[in-house]
Amino acid sequence: MNSDIRYRSALLDRVIEGMRDGLLIRDAAGQVLIANSEARRLLGPQLLAAGDTFPGACVTLTPPEREEPLSAEELPSSLALRGRSTEDRELRVAGPHLEEPVVISTSAQPLLDPSGSIEGCLVWFRDLTTQRRAERARHDAETRLTQAQKMEAMGQLAGGIAHDFNNLLTVIVGSCEVLVEELDESETFLRSVAEQIEAAAGRGAELTHRLLALSKRQTLKPTVLDVNEMVASMSSLLRRALGETIVIREELDPAIGATLADVSNFENALLNLVINARDAMPEGGTLTIRTENRLVRDRRDTEPGDYVVLAVSDTGTGMTEEVKARAFEPFFSTKASGRGSGLGLATIHGFVSQSGGFVEIESTPGQGTTIGIAMPRVYVSGAMDGVRELAPAERGRGQTILVVEDDEYVRTTFVTILEELGYRTLSAPDAAAAMELVGGGQAISLLLTDVVMPGMSGWDLAKAAAEARPGLPVLFTTGYTDNVLLRRAGLDDRIHVLAKPFKAQELAKAIEGLLGGDRSGGRDTATRHREGD
């Protein structure tokens, strides 16, 4: 009998000790009778009766809705010893035995003897710290997902608007150029009106460029870039933008790696960051431009690998967590009305993301802000090339260009400009009509096609045309495009991408660059190949 009691008692001890939740039992006088290992871990290694205090621990139990901890009379066990059962209650436990505060859920109930008198209480504890961390992580993930979905929706809207608007601007710019060429020098008033329209269209093109950067659909022209050299070339411009009250420092890593980036976009990004930093230091301060190489291993939003980082730091007002969370939102700005469109950081984020990099912000209110642009590092042999400028374009000599564009007004404008430049033209409203011309016997020196068209895209048309006429150069015109096309264009010297809207001179240079020294008067590449030219 005694052995059975001892066995059962030992078994009960093992069960209580092995419980995942903390268990504490006190008698009517408050003396701790049982405290399993989880209860001791949460509340301290030693438990005494007097007021649930623990020697050397100074444990505090604090509700989330207030700053001061519970008094001895408010503790769940004290309430239970006075006959009140308590429901689950969340408390924060702090004490020297814990590396950091722990969040617990606890409840207590009185223990009654057969006569109904209180002979003690039972208290349960459950550690919620891991659960709360998981909830916070899930909340953060949901917030990031919502933000990403919002940015994607804004990007799709912006990209669609910009694409259609670029077609309109292409017609306006092209028509103005033709009009200026046709007007007599004496018609100064009409020439002036046409030039003003062209200038206004240029400002519209700049806005659509920002919208496409936001939507990550702009046409980039990446080139191998030395970030230190870019900073040095912009130094005088940046100093003028900052004014005399701000000290500028440069901490440029002499061993900085190369990156592949659109130079114009990167320069605009640096200028935007410098202007934002200036505005954050209205009383003056220090601005630091830093470059460094960085190995990224475990960042969630980017591929691991080597990156080149350009960071701009200021000693200005800094950002709150709420402002940081919205910093990349389109049209969000903390500046006064009329002092910015709110597209600066949003377009930087779009350009950098489209280029395979990421943007990071570190900021503390009153202590300044650091914004870093990280771009994938590339390894090249020899000197790094800058942007190669084409020589002034020559006029065409009768070569035939096939123009494929679904927008009738844009197609007519292209034909007009090309014929003014000295080329012959064939035109088609879609890829199917274009392939009929490609399969015919007419000479074609170059295919000029829009990228986004109903049915077969310009990219698929170019591949089909290349099968019919190997070596046929292709000039894509687009309001936006994707990185696959851009990478292919960078590897194939028979492919070029021209972003809408563009000037006649830009079109002429692009065509000359693709045709090279071809002054054959219209024989296509396939014909020349057969003749052994």
Which tens digits make up the pLDDT trace of 73-86? 888 888 888 888 88
202 versus 400: the higher-pLDDT residue is 400
236 with 351, same domain?
yes
Between 429 and 12, the higher pLDDT residue? 429
Helix (H) or strand (E) holding 468: helix 458-468
pLDDT at 221 over 70: no
Mean pLDDT of 171-196: 77
Do 269 and 405 share a domain, yes or no?
A: no
What pLDDT does 530 receive? 38
Q: Tell me, rounded to whole angstroms, the distance of Cα 245 from its chain centroid.
A: 32
Helices (H) and strands (E) in the chain, counts: 15, 18
Question: The domain spanning residue 470 has which CATH number?
Answer: 3.40.50.2300
**What is the arithmetic mean of pLDDT over 365-388?**
70
Interval 193-199 mean pLDDT: 78
β-pairing, 102-112 vs 118-127, is: antiparallel
- pLDDT reading at 449 higher than 60: yes
- What is the rounded distance in angstroms from the CA atom of residue 243 to the CA atom of residue 247? 9
135 is a domain residue: no
Closest CA to 48 of 70, 72, 17, 15: 72
Q: Are residue 415 and residue 524 in the same domain, yes or no?
A: yes
243/233 Cα distance (integer angstroms): 18
pLDDT, mean over the chain: 77
**150-164, 195-209, 346-360, 458-472: range with highest mean pLDDT:** 458-472
List the single range of 102-111, 284-293, 300-309 with lowest mean pLDDT: 300-309
Torsion over CA: 132, 136, 142, 143 (sign) = positive
- Domain shared by 326 and 453, yes or no: no
**Residue 255 and residue 198: Cα distance in Å, rounded?**
44
Same domain for 170 and 48: no
Which range (135-139, 293-297, 473-477, 508-512) has the least confidence?
135-139
Q: Is residue 386 part of a domain?
A: no
Residue 299 resides in a domain: yes
Q: What angle do CA 443, 502, 202 make, to 5 degrees?
A: 160
User: What pLDDT is stored for residue 526 in this prediction?
Assistant: 43
Distance CA 22, CA 36 (A): 6
Locus of tokens 């800094």:
318
Overall average pLDDT of the 483-502 stretch = 58
Report the SS3 class of residue 222: strand
Q: Out of 431-435, 463-467, 519-523, which region has the weakest mean confidence (pLDDT)?
A: 519-523
Residue 137 lies inside a defined structural domain of this protein: no
| Of the candidates 488, 500, 474, 469, the residue with the CA atom closest to the CA atom of residue 404 | 474
Using the 3D structure, point to which of 214, 234, 266 is the last residue of a domain: 214
- Per-residue confidence band for 337, with pLDDT thresholds at 50, 70 and 90: very low
Which residues, other chains included, contact 313 with Cβ-Cβ below 8 Å and sequence gap of 6+?
277, 287, 288, 290, 368, 369, 370
The pLDDT score that the predictor gives to residue 447 is 94
pLDDT for position 522: 44
- 517 and 471: one domain? yes
| Domain contains 466 | yes
Least confident of 91-105, 309-323, 327-341: 327-341
Q: Is the pLDDT of residue 152 over 50?
A: yes
**Cα torsion 460, 461, 464, 466: sign:** negative
Mean pLDDT of 319-330: 78
Confidence of residue 369 (pLDDT cuts 50, 70, 90): very high
Q: Are residues 73 and 117 in the same domain?
A: yes
Instruction: Report the range of poorest mean pLDDT among 25-39, 367-381, 511-525.
Output: 511-525
Instruction: State which amino acid sits at residue 159.
Output: G
Residue 308 β-bridge partners: 293, 375
Give me the CATH number covering residue 208. Answer: 1.10.287
Range of the domain at 94: 18-127
Using the predicted structure, report yes or no on whether residue 455 has a pLDDT greater than 80.
yes
The answer to whether residues 204 and 274 belong to one domain is no
Is 288 inside a domain boundary? yes
Contacting residues for 55 by C-beta, under 8 A, at least 6 apart: 46, 48
166 within domain boundaries = yes
Domain shared by 332 and 454, yes or no: no
Asked whether 437 and 461 are in contact (CB, 8 A), the reply is: no
Last residue of a domain, one of 74, 96, 127: 127
Domains contained in the chain, number: 4
Report yes or no on whether pTM surpasses 0.85: no
Residue 321 above 80 pLDDT? yes
